[in-house]
Structure 1
Amino acid sequence: MFSRINQIIYGGLVAVILGLGVWSWYQGQKVDSLQAENHAQAQTIIQLELETATLHQALMEEQQAVEKQQQITNELKAKAESKREKVRIIFKDSPCANTDLPSGVIEQLQ
């Protein structure tokens, strides 16, 4: 009788030990899989941060170029306004037929 009970107990223990071993192996595989996924995501984050930094630098360069272009545009507008004002004064204050226009104004009118 004890022999049959001992076999059942030993069989149950073996089943529990095998079950725990399989469960432990499965959990180890799951942890390894999650670690690999975590590493891949970390690499993706690093790559995206580098791309973001590159895009930010390009944006700053574009912004500086636009500001410089606006400055040049404003200077050209001021020069054009000055020349326009000179022409207006000449036409207003002097008889047109007897007055020579400055060469810069003539070039601009052509």
Structure 2
Amino acid sequence: MNSTRGQVGIQMLLTAEQEAQQIVSAARNLKLTRLKQAKDEAEKDVADYRSKLESEYQKKLSETSGNSGSTVKRLEEETEIKIQKLKESASKVQPDIVGMIMKHITAVKN
């Protein structure tokens, strides 16, 4: 009776050990699954964040490029206006300057 009882006890221990191994294995698999999900979510978050930063960068880049283009155009217009004013001013004083030069060239010194 003792040997039968001992074998039943051993069999119960073996069964309990197998159940424990299955529980541990299931817990490990669940942990690995959760880690993989967390990693996938983190990679998605990083990709979303990177995409957001890239779009903000491109937006700022296009705004800056647009501003420099409009700045160049504005400066060209201002330069043309200044050149036109200088030409008008030069054409007003040109007869006086030509007269002074002719007077100095034709003047005879004693």
| TM-score for the superposition, normalised by structure 1 | 0.68
In structure 2, C-alpha distance between the alignment counterparts of 1:36 and 1:51, rounded to whole Å: 22
Q: Which runs of 5+ in 1 are unaligned?
A: 95-110
Equivalence map 1:15-34=2 (5 Å): 15-34=24-43
Secondary structure, counterpart of 1:58 in structure 2: helix
> Alpha-carbon deviation of 1:65?
0.6
* 4+ aligned runs moved over 6 Å, structure 1: none
Identity among equivalent pairs (%): 5
Equivalent pairs counted in the alignment come to 95
Aligned to 2:19: 10
Equivalence map 1:48-87=2 (5 Å): 48-87=57-96
Q: Which has the higher contact order (CA 8 A, sep 6+)?
A: 1
In structure 1, C-alpha distance between the alignment counterparts of 2:51 and 2:101, rounded to whole Å: 73
CA RMSD of aligned residues (A): 2.3
Which residue identity lines up with residue 46 of structure 1 in the other structure? S
Q: Which runs of 5+ in 2 are unaligned?
A: 1-9, 104-110
> Alpha-carbon deviation of 1:12?
1.5
Q: Which moved more, 1:77-86 or 1:22-31?
A: 77-86
